[in-house]
Amino acid sequence: MITFNKDEFAPFYANYIARSLFHLDIVDGLRKQKEEIISFFKTIPLQKQEFQYEIGKWTPKDILLHLIDAERIFAYRALRISRKDVTALHGFEENDYVPNAGANSRNMDSLLEEYESVRNATISLFSNFTEEQLVCVGTASGSTVSVRAIGCIILGHELHHVAVIKERYL
């Protein structure tokens, strides 16, 4: 299990980090989770893929594309921080991304293919970080974060959204 220093992530991410800690290794977790996520989204019935449990809430397709977008952004942050880029990285407004992403105009296979491509790139990136790079700390969204914390945030963020889908959509 990974043990973090207090400056490696903002309190906002504590829930995501906690959800990810059953993985002993970030890369192994990313690989296992890829298969689990693909299998999970394939089980969502067609009539539920664009379902909103409440007006204005995201659909499962929206959530999947949100996971893809967020992973791209988190991986980019990890890359920059690992290369000791000291530029503070801005946050992103997820509620602006989702309505402009067009997830519900796509089929699930298309979304899962994109998810798999992004996850494979993330696995490649994290597989090649050195131990020194994994503990590099930078600034993103106004808070300090380490590369390895970003890896755990990616894992925990997905687990959070899968739990929401299971609870509110299925």
Tell me the per-residue pLDDT of 86-119, one tens digit each, with 9 for 90 and over.
999 999 999 999 999 999 999 999 999 999 999 9
For residue 1, pLDDT over 90 is answered with no
Please state whether 74 falls in left (phi above 0), alpha (psi between -120 and 50) or beta. alpha
State the chain's mean pLDDT as an integer: 96
Assigned domain for 1 exists: no
- Based on the structure, what is the number of domains in the chain? 1
Tell me the residue range of the domain where 98 lies: 6-168
**Integer Cα distance of 157 and 19 in angstroms:** 8
Flag whether 159 is in a domain.
yes
Question: Helix or strand or coil: residue 99?
Answer: helix
Quick one: tokens of 111?
A: 């979304």
Task: Identify whether 81 is part of a domain.
Answer: yes
Whole-number percent of the chain with pLDDT over 70:
99
For residue 22, what pLDDT is reported? 81
52 falls within a domain: yes
Contact 163, 29 (CB under 8 A): no
Tell me, yes or no, whether 82 lies in a domain: yes
Q: Which two tokens stand for residue 23?
A: 């993985």
Asked if residue 49 is part of any domain, the answer here is yes
What integer pLDDT is reported at residue 123 of this predicted model?
98
CATH number at residue 49: 1.20.120.450
Give the pLDDT of residue 23: 79
pLDDT for residue 2 is more than 90: no
pLDDT band at residue 122 using 50, 70 and 90 as cut-offs: very high
pLDDT digits 0-9 by tens, 3-35: 888 889 999 999 999 999 887 799 999 999 999
